[in-house]
């Protein structure tokens, strides 16, 4: 911006009653530079800056942007006069277990706040809580690191190598490298209940029973309003997106072209899980039901003694696990025969995952719990013999990482390390895209890249790029700016 350039700002809001849109849009013109800031009312929002060839072209582009928003119902407003709309916190109750025995807990880690998100892979256990903390632990319960996110963590999901946290600020953060980034900024009127990501495409279910799909460039693709509200389940694969709400499970074509099937369940859906050919819905009416992905047919029902807050399976669905509202955890065989029921010893399981004869739970008291689910340990527990659970403590000097919100927060390098890949931010059709500069890649493909650190003409070094089915590249590893 040249000295003495005139600065003008237009601030608009769109707020609808009954839980609809509640968002702002601000355009600032300073000489040849146009800065757009948008998001949920009361939040900092997301910022994009574009430099034009002249001040006149900048003014024209800004006027066009404002006109488009006004035609969509936005109106001039004063920042701060309209209060932020509260996000939904999942309200749950947890009664004492009626099981005769307690599960064989190996270790327990208290996160310090109510927690919902969990993911377990070959190296780590991840848990996210309502305070915005995500902790990583090894399988023996040693705390390795902490990510400090801006708002409460609703859920944790994995998409191949990549780990994502959906938060109450309406953003989804990529936690796959040491420095987390905001990977998706969900529409401001979407109150996240649950999400899934498949091949870089984000699927979000919300309080209103909607399913919102956003692509790798953080751009809205399609929305569907399901037959029921309070949609706590969404799972996705190549064939469909499976959406669970208070009237059952609905499957949609991945491109949003239509509904494939709808199946009423026994009670509203509170949690969902999937295997290759089946989806599992835990319901408020004390059951988990297994549905065929192809037809929606209910293939098996697993009966619990209270509302089901969470469920999971052993690989291939050999065993089915469930956690209920009465602090109990269950195991069934594939056909629905109950094999055991045990108390968690620490609240109801709001999320769970099974791996290598261990069942990992996130409970209503904010703990990550590791249960020995081997046959020998369960048999001993049923006879009243359980190990002494180890209470995991935080390390004195725990590495803590916060999201990168500007380009200056990214580490820099003077030369690309051997084997690294160079990418560049370029203006394309009025949008700031990222393309590959290094040889051996398709230069016409976009690279999925954090918007907060994009700057026109800037080059970055990434550890590796992986092609996705949608015809774009995904970054794996660290991102550094090339000087």
Question: Tens digit of pLDDT for each residue in 265-279?
Answer: 999 999 999 999 999
Q: What is the pLDDT of residue 397?
A: 85
Q: What is the pLDDT of residue 372?
A: 98
In the chain, CATH 2.20.140.10 sits at 7-76
CB-neighbour burial class of residue 43 (10 A; exposed 0-12, middle 13-18, buried 19+): middle
Other CB atoms within a 10 A radius of the CB of residue 394 amount to: 13
Phi-psi sector, 270: left (phi>0), alpha (psi -120 to 50), beta: alpha
pLDDT at site 190: 64
Residue 84: pLDDT band (50, 70, 90) is low
Integer angstrom CA distances of residue 389 from 32, 148, 344 = 63, 27, 12
Alpha-carbon distance of 147 to 167, in angstroms, equals: 13
Architecture of domain 105-392: 7 Propeller (2.130)
Q: Minimal CA–CA distance to 482: which of 460, 457, 465?
A: 460
pLDDT of residue 265: 97
Helices (H) and strands (E) in the chain, counts: 2, 41
Which pLDDT band holds residue 114 (cuts at 50, 70, 90)? confident
Q: What is the DSSP letter of 326?
A: T
- Averaged pLDDT score across all residues of the chain: 90
Sheet with strand 46-51: strands edge to edge: 46-51, 33-40, 22-30, 7-15, 75-76
| pLDDT at 423 exceeding the cut of 60 | yes
* Of 38 and 442, more confident: 442
The pLDDT, as a whole number, for residue 208 is 84
Question: In this model, does residue 1 exceed pLDDT 70?
Answer: no
The predicted model gives 56-62 an average pLDDT of 91
Q: What is the three-class DSSP state of 316?
A: helix
Q: In the prediction, which pLDDT does 2 show? A: 53
Per-residue pLDDT band for 355 (boundaries 50, 70, 90) equals very high
CB–CB of 37/46 below 8 Å?
yes
pLDDT at 435: 96
**Using 50, 70 and 90 to split pLDDT, how confident is the model at 431?**
confident
Q: For a pLDDT cut of 70, what percent of the chain falls above it?
A: 95
Q: 24 with 39: CB under 8 angstroms?
A: yes
Give the list of residues 6+ apart from residue 455 with CB closer than 8 angstroms, or none. Answer: 407, 425
State the span(s) of the chain assigned CATH 2.130.10.10: 105-392
Q: What Cα–Cα distance (Å) separates residue 82 from each residue in 41, 43, 69, 150, 194?
A: 7, 12, 18, 21, 27
Q: Tell me, what's the pLDDT at 329?
A: 98
207-265: per-residue pLDDT in tens?
Answer: 889 899 998 887 888 999 988 888 999 999 999 999 999 999 999 999 999 999 999 99
Residues 128-150, mean pLDDT to the nearest whole number? 94
We find that the CATH architecture of domain 7-76 is: Single Sheet (2.20)
pLDDT at 179 over 90: no
Q: What proportions of the chain, in percent to the nearest 5, are helix, strand and coil?
A: 5, 50, 45
Instruction: For residues 69 and 67, give the distance between their C-alpha atoms in angstroms, rounded to a whole number.
Output: 5
Tokens of 375: 């046959």
- Its pTM stands at 0.82
Structure-model confidence comparison of residues 82 and 312, the more confident one: 312
What pLDDT, on a 0 to 100 scale, did the predictor assign at position 87? 57
- Among 7-16, 190-199, 295-304, name the most confident range: 295-304
Q: Is the pLDDT of residue 142 over 90?
A: yes
Q: CA-CA distance, 16 to 34, in Å (whole number)? A: 28
The pLDDT confidence band at residue 4, using thresholds 50, 70 and 90, is low
Domain 404-482 coded CATH 1.10.3470: no
């Amino acid at each position: 911006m040249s000295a003495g350039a005139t600065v003008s700002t237009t601030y608009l809001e769109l707020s609808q009653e009954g839980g609809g849109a509640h968002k702002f849009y601000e355009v600032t013109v300073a000489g040849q530079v146009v800065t757009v800031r948008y998001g949920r009312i009361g939040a900092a929002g997301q910022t994009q800056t574009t430099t034009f060839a002249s001040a006149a072209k900048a003014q024209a582009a800004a006027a066009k942007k404002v006109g488009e928003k006004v035609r969509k119902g936005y109106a001039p407003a004063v920042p701060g006069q309209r209060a932020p709309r509260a996000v939904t916190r999942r309200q749950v109750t947890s009664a004492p277990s009626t099981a005769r025995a307690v599960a064989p807990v190996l270790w327990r880690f208290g996160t310090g706040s109510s927690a919902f998100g969990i993911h377990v892979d070959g190296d780590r256990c991840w848990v996210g809580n309502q305070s915005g903390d995500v902790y990583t632990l090894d399988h023996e319960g040693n705390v390795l690191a902490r990510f400090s996110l801006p708002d409460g963590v609703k859920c944790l999901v994995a998409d191949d190598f990549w780990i994502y946290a959906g938060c109450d600020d309406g953003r989804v953060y990529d936690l796959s490298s040491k420095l987390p980034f905001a990977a998706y900024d969900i529409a401001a009127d979407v109150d996240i209940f649950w999400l899934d990501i498949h091949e870089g495409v984000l699927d979000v279910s919300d309080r209103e029973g909607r399913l919102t799909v956003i692509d790798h460039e953080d751009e809205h693709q399609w929305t569907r309003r399901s037959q029921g509200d309070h949609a706590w389940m969404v799972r996705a694969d190549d064939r469909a997106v499976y959406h669970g709400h208070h009237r059952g499970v609905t499957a949609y074509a991945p491109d949003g072209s239509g509904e494939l099937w709808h199946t009423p369940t026994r009670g509203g859906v509170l949690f969902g899980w999937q295997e290759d050919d089946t989806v599992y819905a835990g319901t408020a009416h004390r059951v988990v039901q297994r549905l065929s992905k192809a037809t929606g047919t209910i293939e098996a029902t697993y009966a619990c003694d209270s509302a089901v807050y969470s469920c999971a399976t052993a690989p291939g669905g050999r065993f089915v696990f469930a956690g209920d509202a009465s602090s109990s955890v269950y195991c069934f065989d594939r056909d629905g025969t109950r094999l055991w029921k045990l108390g968690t010893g620490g609240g109801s399981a709001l999320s769970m995952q099974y791996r290598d004869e261990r069942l990992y739970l996130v409970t209503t008291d904010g703990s990550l719990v590791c249960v020995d689910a081997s046959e020998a340990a369960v048999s001993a527990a049923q006879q009243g013999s359980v190990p002494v659970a180890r209470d995991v403590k935080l390390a004195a000097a725990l590495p803590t990482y916060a999201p990168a919100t500007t380009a200056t927060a990214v580490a820099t390098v003077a030369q690309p390390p051997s084997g690294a890949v160079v990418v560049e931010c370029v203006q394309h059709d009025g949008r700031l895209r990222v393309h590959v500069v290094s040889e051996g890649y398709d230069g016409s493909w976009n690279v999925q890249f954090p918007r907060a650190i994009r700057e026109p003409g800037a080059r970055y070094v990434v550890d590796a790029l992986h092609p996705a089915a949608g015809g774009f590249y995904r970054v794996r590893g660290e991102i550094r700016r090339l000087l």
